[in-house]
């Protein structure tokens, strides 16, 4: 860490010291959260193939032959699960030899979770039942990894950890790049021996340089899923017209407003239904006709999900969920009475920003480019883990001796010129409001600084009171 500067030194030196101290604080205090996010994210992107092996008995059909009608498969799933849960959606087998997923909801399930019954399309035999999650339809093994990555298995309160990590990651990366740029032009005397601290610093710096763009990407896409910053991002997108096109399932278009595309698939809730509910038996008989209509309307991906209407006056929702390349996520609404398409949202007509957001989220999850995407995301996660470990090693080897005046962020800020102080405060307020978890944690940094400085002053005062021979 650079030495303290005096207020009389050039303004550039003060800015540099402030960036250095902020980069250090982010690494020291946010580093553990970034480390957990990096490790759990790496495990998540590396495990689709493991999950397919673990649940092979449920995913692979045990008999060969032509698939029976979807209505019969749904009835087989209903007979297995009983009358309590509500039919939510059906995902027909994506290829011969695989099972159909019949998905049900019930009050005790978490957001975006369903009880899924796996049905052999040829024999109608039920091959198992599991809780599945989200559009990706992950199974219990990866659900646990996903929750670890998102909230440490602590529910909504745990989501603050991942938002904290995503909020500060881009600041840490940009600060590190600035420090590298400034230090590369500084002539340093050649050391007689390369120390362990110097090796750790060099490795920390090289990893950061090689992975900077990827880490900025992870930070930006991670923020879109966060609780507070993600909400602000959604508001901003709505204000500037960067929303994802979506369908309406209301047969009377004036009765229901469309729901935003990618976020609609994350929850199972919605507005309170005031129309009479639809009898499940009536809707089950129409699934095959709805699928035929969807295929005729251009829904050609093998990966489709059909959601029946919940109330009278609503249409079926048929959506593609193949998020690999090329992306197939078209969605249509089909009238259950005459099987006509009443609304549609085709990916090829999405605004470019909506497409980029869709691709960014899918790349973050490691699904956009298949195995290559998995390897790239895993490499980023491993690199981030190593960079954090080297950063802590560098700090430990160079940690200051106890006592003395502590180096604080507040002191570094005090050396700025008045114009720089006002500018820094304005930037802090803007980002603190846009990224609330960042703003709150920055205040925590200030409190830590205040107490460190106060404790150091108390110790110094006690030292001065002691007789000279006892100091």
pLDDT per residue as tens digits for the range 343-362: 999 999 999 999 999 999 99
pLDDT score for 242:
87
> What CA–CA distance (Å, rounded) separates 386 from 381?
9
129 exposure class (CB count in 10 Å sphere: 0-12, 13-18, 19+)? middle
> What CA–CA distance (Å, rounded) separates 356 from 361?
9
Return the CA Rg of the chain.
28
pLDDT score for 186:
66
Tell me the per-residue pLDDT of 18-70, one tens digit each, with 9 for 90 and over: 999 999 999 999 999 999 999 999 999 999 999 999 999 999 999 999 999 99
> What CA–CA distance (Å, rounded) separates 3 from 24?
14
Q: Contact, 434 vs 232, CB < 8 A?
A: yes
CATH numbers and ranges of domains, the chain? 56-138 (no CATH), 243-350 (3.10.450)
Q: Contact, 343 vs 247, CB < 8 A?
A: yes
> What CA–CA distance (Å, rounded) separates 268 from 470?
70
Listed in sequence order, the residues at least 6 apart from 40 whose beta carbon sits closer than 8 Å to its beta carbon are 145, 148, 149
pLDDT score for 259:
45
Pick from 43, 363, 433, 390: nearest CA to 220 = 363
Q: Contact, 334 vs 294, CB < 8 A?
A: yes
Tell me the per-residue pLDDT of 181-191, one tens digit each, with 9 for 90 and over: 998 866 666 65
Strand partners, 317: 307, 333
465 exposure class (CB count in 10 Å sphere: 0-12, 13-18, 19+)? exposed
Residue 266: band (very low, low, confident or very high) from pLDDT cuts 50, 70, 90:
very low
pLDDT score for 256:
52
pLDDT score for 408:
86
Tell me the per-residue pLDDT of 61-112, one tens digit each, with 9 for 90 and over: 999 999 999 999 999 999 999 999 999 999 999 999 999 999 999 999 999 9
């Amino acid at each position: 860490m650079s030495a303290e500067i005096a207020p009389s030194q050039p303004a550039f030196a003060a800015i540099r010291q402030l960036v250095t101290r902020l980069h250090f604080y982010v690494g020291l205090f946010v580093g553990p959260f970034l480390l957990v996010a990096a490790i759990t994210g790496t495990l998540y992107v590396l495990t689709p193939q493991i999950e397919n092996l673990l649940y092979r008995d449920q995913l692979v059909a045990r008999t060969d032959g032509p698939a029976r009608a979807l209505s019969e498969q749904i009835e087989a799933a209903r007979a297995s699960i009983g009358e309590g849960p509500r039919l939510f959606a059906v995902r027909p087998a994506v290829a011969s030899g695989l099972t159909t997923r019949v998905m049900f909801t019930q009050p005790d399930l978490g957001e975006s979770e369903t009880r899924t019954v796996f049905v052999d399309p040829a024999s109608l035999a039920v091959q198992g039942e599991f809780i599945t999650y989200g559009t990706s339809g992950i199974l219990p093994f990866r659900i646990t990894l996903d929750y670890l990555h998102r909230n440490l298995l602590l529910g909504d309160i745990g989501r603050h950890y991942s938002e904290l990590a995503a909020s500060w990651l881009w600041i840490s990366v940009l600060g590190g790049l600035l420090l590298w740029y400034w230090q590369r032009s500084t002539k340093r005397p050649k050391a007689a021996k390369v120390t362990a601290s110097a090796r750790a610093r060099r490795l920390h710096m090289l990893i950061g340089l090689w992975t900077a763009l990827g880490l900025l990407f992870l930070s930006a896409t991670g923020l879109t899923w966060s609780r507070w910053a993600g909400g602000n991002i959604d508001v901003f997108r709505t204000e500037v017209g960067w929303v994802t096109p979506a369908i309406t399932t209301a047969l009377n278009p004036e009765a229901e407003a469309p729901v935003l595309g990618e976020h609609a698939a994350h929850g199972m809730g919605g507005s309170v239904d005031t129309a009479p509910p639809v009898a499940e038996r009536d809707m089950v008989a129409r699934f095959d006709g709805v699928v035929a209509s969807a295929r005729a309307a251009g829904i050609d991906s093998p990966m489709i999900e059909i959601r029946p209407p919940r109330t009278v006056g609503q249409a079926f929702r048929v959506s593609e969920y193949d998020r690999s390349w090329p992306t197939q996520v078209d969605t249509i609404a089909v009238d259950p009475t005459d099987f006509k398409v009443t609304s549609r949202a085709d990916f090829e007509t999405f605004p470019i920003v909506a497409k980029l957001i869709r691709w960014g989220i899918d790349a973050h999850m490691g699904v956009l480019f298949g195995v290559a995407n998995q390897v790239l995301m895993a490499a980023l996660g491993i690199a981030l883990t190593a960079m954090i470990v080297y950063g802590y090693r560098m700090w430990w080897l160079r940690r200051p001796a106890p006592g003395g005046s502590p180096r604080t962020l507040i002191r570094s800020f005090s050396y700025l010129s008045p114009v720089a102080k006002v500018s820094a405060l304005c930037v802090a307020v803007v980002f603190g409001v846009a990224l609330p978890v960042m703003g709150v944690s920055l205040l925590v940094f200030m409190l830590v600084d205040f107490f460190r400085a106060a404790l150091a002053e108390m110790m110094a005062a006690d030292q001065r009171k002691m007789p000279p021979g006892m100091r």
